[in-house]
Amino acid sequence: MSEEKQRPSTDIEKFELERRDDAAAVLPIAHAPAPTKSWNIPAWVYIAVWISLSGAVIIFNKWILDRRNFRYPIFLTTWHLIFSTAMTQILARFTTALDSRKKIPMSGRVYMRAIVPIGIFFSLSLMLSNAAYLYLSVAFIQMLKATTPVAVLLVTFVLGMGSTNMKTVANVSVIVVGVMIASAGEIKFVLLGFGIQIAGILCEATRLAMVERLLSGGEFKMDPLVSLYYFAPACAFMNSIMFLFLESHKISMEKIFELGLVTLLLNAMVAFMLNVAVVFLIGKTSSLVLTLSGVLKDIILVVFSVFMFRDPVSGLQIFGYSIALGGLVWYKLGGEKVKAMLGESTSCVNWRHPMTSKVILLVAILLLVTVVFMGGLMPQVPPAYVEKTKSKLGIN
């Protein structure tokens, strides 16, 4: 398979933005036109709404599970899916928002052979990703999620859906090295949480690979809401079984009332609205904009979690995450597109103009001051951690 085929296609890139919000009930999508709109709303508004909602879901879940000590990730995920099932059923019966589902040749046999297996991995992905918030910081989890394209490449190779070459391996290796550096710099590293998040990423990668195979047939093109209409009931049923075995004996109505029914309702509404926002976002932006918007969202989440949750982030983590994000953009867009973007941007600048050199110098100074200032604010890696790392690497 060529390198172009190994990188996600436009359709797959667009539903990959949803897997970054795996704490929410967001499901696979294919390229579908957004609903007809009577207002000429700029594309940046849709991007801003999507970034805000996707960030809100992650922060909201972290706050409930960790800060409010409501340590029932399976229950929370199941509640999201039940709410999404109810909302999509209401939309299907009383609106035209889901009329495109009538064009999909869905039968009981297809549902059991295609939808249910994908739903199993989707449920596992959601539960594991939510469980990781009990042990890891939002910032570190976002850094680990940068490895999802690597996991997708690995899963597609294992399932026999594609081959690979050294150039692609080299591209994804940059992401892996960056995440390894970021992990080495994690101050509050918890092995159990790390393992749970990696397992969640592998389940999500398997889901994406299975969805890619389903969409390749051309008969099952779905927008996010139609996808949610089919997947949410199956996922809710499977999550309910997991909840009965793993959490039902731990939770009580007293804990639910202590958290608040209004809080749970708002949490589910934000998760559902994220799916609605994606419907409008797809029709207004290109795959390039979606990729860069996703990277921007991750950076904002990391910064926001540092200030909101006081998550400690070391300079080594920032360095490693920067490498991983650069590798992620290069892998998803391709070297030629990145070079073309840089060429277009540089061709628009008059490098000989005196003002240009002054602006570049000013920006460089501001960046240097920012790095030095933020480096002083960032918590440092404890000396004991440094000595332990050196001893493992055999460094005196």
> Where is mean pLDDT largest: 72-81, 113-122, 216-225, 354-363?
72-81
Interval 108-136 mean pLDDT: 87
**Tokens 């207004």 identify what position?**
284
Same domain, 170 and 245: yes
Same domain, 35 and 62: yes
331 burial via Cβ count (<10 Å: 0-12, 13-18, 19+) = buried
Give, in order, the Cα–Cα distances in Å from 179 to each of 32, 300, 332.
33, 18, 17
Same domain, 391 and 292: no
Give the phi and the psi of residue 269 in degrees, each rounded to 5. Answer: -65, -40
CB atoms within 10 A of CB 379: 14
Same domain, 183 and 317: yes
Same domain, 197 and 340: yes
Q: pLDDT band for position 357 (50/70/90)? A: low
Q: What pLDDT was estimated at residue 23?
A: 45
In order, the DSSP letters of 268-300 are HHHHHHHHHHHHHHHTT--HHHHHHHHHHHHHH
Q: Fill in the DSSP letter of residue 381.
A: P
Same domain, 140 and 255: yes
Same domain, 172 and 298: yes
pLDDT above 90 (res 64): yes
Q: What pLDDT was estimated at residue 391?
A: 63
| Cα(322)–Cα(351) distance, integer angstroms | 27
Same domain, 82 and 197: yes
pLDDT above 50 (res 141): yes
pLDDT above 60 (res 279): yes
Average pLDDT, whole number, for the chain? Answer: 76
- Amino acid occupying residue 7: R
| Cα(226)–Cα(27) distance, integer angstroms | 9
This model's pTM is above 0.75: no
Render pLDDT for 337-348 as a digit per residue (tens, 0 to 9). 656 655 655 555
| Cα(106)–Cα(155) distance, integer angstroms | 26
Give the percent of the chain with pLDDT over 70: 69
pLDDT above 50 (res 4): no
pLDDT above 70 (res 354): no
**Total number of domains in the chain:** 2
| Cα(243)–Cα(245) distance, integer angstroms | 5
Interval 109-138 mean pLDDT: 87
Q: What pLDDT was estimated at residue 361?
A: 53
- Check if the beta carbon of residue 32 is closer than 8 Å to that of residue 282: yes
- Check if the beta carbon of residue 61 is closer than 8 Å to that of residue 133: yes
Q: Which residues contact 298 (CB under 8 A, 6 or more apart)?
A: 20, 142, 145, 146, 325
Q: What pLDDT was estimated at residue 327?
A: 79
Helix (H) or strand (E) holding 222: none
Instruction: Between 310 and 290, name the one with better pLDDT.
Output: 310
Same domain, 222 and 325: yes
Interval 25-42 mean pLDDT: 53
Same domain, 242 and 384: no
Q: Which residues contact 161 (CB under 8 A, 6 or more apart)?
A: 209, 212, 213
Same domain, 169 and 256: yes
- List the domain range (segments joined by +) for residue 37: 3-348
Same domain, 268 and 212: yes
Q: pLDDT band for position 1 (50/70/90)? A: very low
Instruction: Using alpha carbons, select from 134, 157, 133 the residue that is nearest to residue 145.
Output: 133
